[in-house]
Amino acid sequence: MPFAHGAACPPPRPTGMGDVPEPCPQAPLAVLSKVELRVSCKHLLDRDTLNKSDPCVLLLMQTQGQWMEVDRSEVIKSNLNPVFAKIFTVDYYFEEVQKLRFEVYDSHGQAGLGTHDDDFLGGMECTVGQIVAQKRVTKPLFLKYGKFAGKSTITIISEEISGNNGYVELAFRAKKLDDKDLFSKSDPFLEIYRIDDDRSEQLVYRTEVVKNNLSPIWEPFKVSLNSLCSCEEKRKLRCVVWDYDSRGKHDFIGEFFTTFEEMQKAMGENKVQWDCMNPKYKIKKRNYKNSGVVVLLDLKIHRVYSFLDYIMGGCQIHFTVAIDFTASNGDPRNSCSLHYINPYQPNEYLKALVAVGEICQDYDSDKKFSALGFGARIPPKYEVSHDFAINFNPDNDECEGIQGVVESYQSCLPKIQLYGPTNVAPIISKVARVAADEERTKEASQYFILLILTDGVVTDMADTREAIVRASYLPMSIIIVGVGNADFTDMQILDGDDGVLRSPKGEPVLRDIVQFVPFREFKNASPTALAKCVLAEVPKQVVEYYSYKTPPHSPGVAWGQTGSPQGPALPQPPPGWDTVKVPVQDTPSTARSRWSVPCGPVPTPAVPSVPSVPASLSL
């Protein structure tokens, strides 16, 4: 198969010998099905004259017909049979064909990856589904125009990340290691391998090199429990200490075997140590004791919570719908109106309401939904309101289930006069006030979803942006569905997909909480397609909101257990949150510098601290 390897290779970024992956600033979100991919190659072409190739792997995914780089591995010096420490993580969707391309290049140090024919070592295409179904895929590498790259092969091993996964933070050091260098001391690094059921070994982590030191202290690192031991405490692990060689011919110092169960003895102030053994020395030398000692200085276990964890922990989804009753919808008595009630065919407002509401009601125990309207003159004085209950009960705007909302909507239409303008900031602020009140309670167990149905671009854009920025600090998500054939280009501003939404004062949103979808894109699709699209980001937004707070905790539950029957307790509100005021708006008015071998952990960064609220958001 042909490979446009030159075009596919993007501008180089540092992947040299001194690079150490930087921790991500946010906790990983266990929302989607994710798959880890491990890569190794054999019999690569030797492109270097005086040495062997220095291979690096690029992972690309096809998006809208274009190949886009997802990530790349570290560079392994002078090795034609590399086992890469980098673990690629991709989202897995059963209903989609996700095409992947793996490209192997010979790196040139600081110059980065080459783009010439002589630098391309081969490529392979497959799908995520193929890798997941087979779990282990070995295929030949191809050069340009479908030519085989000699006997070169690439092996991809997949592993699904459990939604109940967590990660572990480890800190190792060694003492009195054997000296393998003639004129200096050893340059040790540590590798950890997981031994699978078929007795094969999977590289979990490779530390940096500590130069010229027989008692090195390696940097603490993080790996997922799934990667380390497949979430099985008794699974055997093999740990190997090497003396680094710049030509790739690393000298074996010693090894030891352990389990995660044994490692856990290092929690708290305890330490665990192992003799680093060289089997050859043990046989040849009668008085051989060890080739040094490896010490686990510290171990910390962190659980990563999923959307389901919070739902099982008691989180309730409170659903509010806001309906546009501006005059641009047309007279409801006219069959051309977007509000026309056809006894045989629901209008677009009802279709969107039912599609989204029927899913949300499964997460609300009382099945009561708030139903609001805006942009109409309402009785008794027929003054314009941008925030009224469509059941005309100002003390209780809730309806019994989705059917209750539908009935209130249909009975409301003959009683109001469609007017304008299209102001949505008052309704966003109203729901935000309720969310803020919930935030201050001890339980803080409700998350609010506001569905706004509108036929045009909002006219109070500045106030709406301000309200969204404030709401991003609260347990709240906003879904906007545009009905009719209006030009909704300007509405994309509110959906943070093209950049960070900011208030008129320049304050950014804390989280991306808005999803905008034109209904016409789903006019001929099933209701489930619309619901799937507009609700796709909500689980992520829920987890992201709680990730900024103290992680849930189930007292007395050891690692490996499922937790209490009620699930994890919901986190408490962050200190000082009660200083944030949501305004009332009745009228319209967010490396290490040491020399190191290529190393790479499973991407499992630390839980972030609670962010500070911008001063300008406090009124």
Give pLDDT tens digits for 57-91: 999 999 888 999 999 999 999 999 999 999 999 98
At 115 the pLDDT is: 53
Tokens 């935030």 locate to 439
Q: Find all residues with CB under 8 Å of 486, minimum gap 6, and list them.
A: 328, 455, 456, 457
The alpha carbon torsion through 520, 522, 523, 528 (nearest 10 deg) reads -150
Q: Using alpha carbons, select from 279, 192, 278 the residue that is nearest to residue 238.
A: 192
Q: Which amino acid is it at 617?
A: L
Strands 221-224 and 166-175: antiparallel
Query: Sorting pLDDT into bands at 50, 70 and 90, what band is 559?
Result: very low
When pLDDT is averaged across residues 328-349 and rounded to a whole number, the result is: 93
**What is the phi/psi pair of residue 285, to 5°?**
-105, 120
Residue 28 reports pLDDT greater than 60: no
Q: State yes or no: pLDDT of 163 exceeds 70.
A: no
DSSP 37: E
All domains in the chain, ordered by first residue: 5-161 (2.60.40.150), 166-303 (2.60.40.150), 316-547 (3.40.50.410)
586 pLDDT higher than 50: no
Question: For residue range 479-495, what is the model confidence (pLDDT) as tens digits?
Answer: 999 998 888 888 888 88
Report the run of H or E that residue 63 belongs to, with start and end: strand 55-63
Q: What is the mean pLDDT of residues 41-48?
A: 91
- Burial (CB count within 10 angstroms: exposed 0-12, middle 13-18, buried 19+), residue 499: exposed
User: 0.75 cut: is pTM over it?
Assistant: no
Position of tokens 């909704």? Answer: 488
What's the average model confidence in pLDDT over 361-368? 78
What does the pLDDT look like over 434-464, one tens digit per residue? 999 988 876 668 899 999 999 988 999 999 9
Give the position of tokens 């994309």. Answer: 492
Closest among 88, 172, 164 to 131, alpha carbons compared: 88
Whole-angstrom Cα distance, residue 195 to residue 237?
A: 6
pLDDT band at 398 (very low <50, low <70, confident <90, very high): very high
Q: Look at residues 354, 369, 370 and name the one whose alpha carbon lies nearest to residue 530.
A: 354
How far is the C-alpha of 27 from the C-alpha of 308, rounded, in Å? 16
Show Cβ contacts of residue 6 under 8 Å, excluding neighbours closer than 6 positions.
115, 116, 120
The three state secondary structure string of 510-578 is CCCCEEEEEHHHHCCCCHHHHHHHHHCCHHHHHHHHHHCCCCCCCCCCCCCCCCCCCCCCCCCCCCCHH
292: left (phi over 0), alpha (psi -120 to 50) or beta: left
> Per-residue pLDDT tens for 264-288?
998 877 889 999 999 999 888 889 9
Distances, alpha carbon 83 to alpha carbons 246, 412, 600, in Å: 17, 67, 12
Write out the E strands in 73-147: 83-91, 99-106, 120-127, 136-142
**361/387 Cα distance (integer angstroms):** 23
Averaged confidence pLDDT in the chain: 80
In sequence order, which residues have a C-beta less than 8 Å from that of residue 16 and are 6 or more positions away?
75, 109, 110
Q: At what angle do helices 348-360 and 401-412 cross, to 10 degrees?
A: 160
- Between residues 615 and 478, which one has the greater pLDDT? 478
Extract the runs of DSSP E, i.e. beta strands, from 233-348: 236-243, 251-259, 272-275, 293-303, 316-324
Radius of gyration of the chain measured on its C-alpha atoms = 29
How far is residue 546's CA from residue 550's CA, in Å, rounded to a whole number?
8
Cα dihedral 517→519→523→526 (10° resolution): 60
pLDDT for residue 183: 81
Q: Which residue has the tokens 């999923």?
A: 306
Residue 172 has pLDDT above 80, yes or no: yes
Gap between the Cα atoms of 179 and 215, Å rounded: 11
| 83, 40 contact by CB (below 8 A) | yes
pLDDT at 33: 67
Torsion region of 499: left, alpha or beta (phi above 0 gives left; psi -120 to 50 gives alpha): left
